[in-house]
Structure 1
Amino acid sequence: MAKSSKSEKSDRRKVIEDIRRQQKSAERRQGTVIVGVCVLVAVVIIGAAAWNPITTAVQKARYSGKDLADIGAAASTCQKVTEKKATGSGEHVPTGQDVKYTDSPPAFGAHWNEAGVAPAPITDRYYTASSRPELESLVHNSEHGYTILWYDQTVADNSSEIAAIKAIAATLDSNDTNQRLKFKAVPWTKKDGKAFPGGQHIAFTHWRVDPKDQEQYGVFQYCSEVSGAALKSFMDKYPFTDAPEPYVP
């Protein structure tokens, strides 16, 4: 009987050890699967983050050396230019104070006035939502003769459209040898105000003075796609020299 009892104990220990080995093996496999899934998720996240900039860079390269008018869509993708009487020239409010603009996007109005902040430096031509100056700074740029290209979230999510905007900004920057091509490309976000008119995702704005009667006007043009041809025509018709304060950077 003693031998039988010892044998039974030995068998039970063997079964328990087998179970423990199987559990450890299962835990190792589970751990490996978890690590593998985590690595895969990380790769997907990193890949998604890197894909859009890489795609944009590749697409932008195809515009290298091209004239502004040859970048992006045809001018026919844009609506007619409109104007409205402008106010706010020389009307400065303290930096940090919100100004309620009625237009989406604004071309004129009261604005901040602080060196290096408002107007934003001419050296920066293209902005993202995280790097963009506040509206009150950009309106001061408008007073100094800038044409501003505004793009909404639909465009921000489109690598091809962003590539065209970056190419436009780079082209104007490389051709601007005397600070006469005053231009900025900036995003228009939900927090800024109302959406652009239906189906339009790009807006050009400018602030001009009529030389005949010195009346001031805000100039607007909306486009469904980015168009270097339309922008070139817009900037030719409304140069920086017709602004309220054109000869300030």
Structure 2
Amino acid sequence: MANKSLNKDRRAVINDIRKKQGRAERVRGAAIIGVCLVIAVLMVGAAAWKPITGFFKESKYDDVALQDIGKSAKAAGCQKVFETKADGNQNHIATGTEQTYTTAPPAFGPHWNEANVAPADMSRKFYSADDRPDLEALVHNLEHGYTIVWYDETVSEDELDLLRVIGDKFAGTSNFRYKFIAAPWTAADAKETAVAGDKKTEFPDGTHIAMTHWYADPANPTEASTQKGVFQYCEGVSGEAVKDFMTTYPYTDTPEPQAM
């Protein structure tokens, strides 16, 4: 009888230990799951934070006129618009062929011509360095009447937000007056740019924004001798400068204004 009682006590102790171990494992498991859930929530929140905050930043400009976005042209340090003789009219080079342009950034020149590659689709108004089309594709956009606002690698996040907002003002593909693209000018682009053997790879000192346009005489748009590259450099983002530039140099005075 004593042995039976002892064995019973041992089983009770073992069962009690097992129960405690089971509870401890469940607690540890729950803690691990809880930590994983917290980490997952934080990761999702971090991923969503920028788009959400970006949406609210941009939505506050819904009722703001283009010319009131960013600084005035003067406050943004916008330099005087200048023109230079253009070349490259209808000069379609094989897609994938690198072209050395003579200005930083380009306003004209030989360019690619391939469906779904060049020119870039009108539905996109803003590009980052990660998804921007090649220069040779964007120059074809210029030939079709686009104004491209280029930004260098030193612009601030606030300036990028303003460029996105400005791009939103030109949303759509049916109104050709909205032929607008904001795109980065990168260090890699600079390596492909030269003027008369001398490197001209950067924007003028102190400027970080450049607007370019490929001008042609509306009365005879295919006449290469009348074509010009139009440039304006600014220190910062100015909706006023963008509006004035695109009003003075609309899509209609380009080599191929009716092409998408």
Confirm or deny a common fold (TM above 0.5).
yes
The Cα of 1:41 is off from its aligned counterpart by 8.7
Equivalences, count:
243
Per-residue CA deviations over 1:1-60 (Å, capped at 9, x if unaligned) read xxxxxxxxxxxxxxxxxxxxxxxxxxxxxxxxxx99999998887666544433332221
Task: Give the superposition deviation at 1:101.
Answer: 1.2
Letter in 1 for 2:210: A
Contact 2:146 2:213 survives alignment (8 Å): yes
- After superposition, the CA RMSD in angstroms is 3.6
- 1:236 is aligned, of 221, 239, 247, to 247
1:154, distance to aligned residue in structure 2 (A): 2.4
Q: Which residue of 1 aligns with 2:180?
A: 183
Report whether the alignment pairs 1:219 with 2:230.
Answer: yes
Unaligned residue ranges in structure 1 (runs of 5+) = 1-34
The answer to whether the aligner puts 1:203 opposite 2:203 as a matched pair is: no
Matching residue's letter, 1:235: M
CA distance in 2, matches of 1:55, 1:196: 32
* C-alpha deviation, 1:210, in angstroms: 4.2
Moved more, 130-139 or 74-83: 74-83
Match of 2:65 in 1: 67
Offset, 1:245: 1.3
Measured after TM superposition, the shift of residue 162 of structure 1 is 2.1
> Conserved in 1, the CA contact under 8 Å of 2:214 and 2:228?
yes
SS of residue matched to 1:60: helix
2:184 pairs with 1:173: no
Query: Counterparts of 1:38 and 1:200 in 2: how far apart (Å)?
Result: 47
Matched residue of 2:154: which SS?
A: helix
Q: Where in structure 2 are the equivalents of 1:36-185 lying within 5 Å?
A: 50-75=48-73, 76-80=75-79, 81-155=81-155, 157-158=156-157, 160-173=158-171, 177-185=174-182
Whichever residue aligns with residue 254 of structure 2, its letter is A
Equivalent residues of 1:56, 1:162 under 8 A apart: no
Q: Report the TM-score, using the length of structure 1 for normalisation.
A: 0.76
Q: In structure 1, how many angstroms separate the alpha carbons of the residues matched to 2:153 and 2:45?
A: 21
Structure 1 residues 99-125: Cα deviation after superposition (integer angstroms, max 9, x where no partner): 011211111100001122111111211
Which consecutive residues of structure 2, in runs of 5 or more, have no partner in the other structure? 1-32, 192-200
**Do the aligned partners of 1:78 and 1:230 also contact (CA within 8 Å) in 2?**
no
User: Which letter maps to 2:56?
Assistant: V
Amino acid paired to 1:205: T
Deviates more, 1:135-144 or 1:71-80: 71-80
Q: TM-score, normalised by structure 2?
A: 0.73
1:24 match: none
Would the aligned equivalents of 1:208 and 1:244 in 2 still touch at CA under 8 Å?
yes
Which has the larger share of helix? 1
